[in-house]
Amino acid sequence: MDLNNVKVYEGEPPEDPDTTFTLNEHYFKQLVYGREDPRVIMQAGRCSVTGDVMRAMKLEPYIKLS
């Protein structure tokens, strides 16, 4: 996901990312649709984050729980 250029990539990104999220399609949809708390998914080991974790945390306000 490139927030500067508003793009989402599957697989290898075209350049070195600041932060990488690894999760399956089911949990990605749960996050995008606000059905699951991102912290719960990460603590349960369903999503891993590598790179700049502080930058990853800045995305949380954009994931609204319904």
Question: Does residue 66 register a pLDDT over 60?
Answer: no
User: Tell me: the pLDDT tens digits for 24-38?
Assistant: 999 989 988 888 888
Confidence of residue 43 (pLDDT cuts 50, 70, 90): very high
- pLDDT for res 44: 95
pTM score, whole prediction: 0.67
Q: Could you tell me if 52 and 15 are in contact, meaning their C-beta atoms sit under 8 angstroms apart?
A: no
Question: Does residue 48 register a pLDDT over 60?
Answer: yes
Question: Does residue 23 register a pLDDT over 70?
Answer: yes
CB atoms near residue 59 (< 10 Å): 14
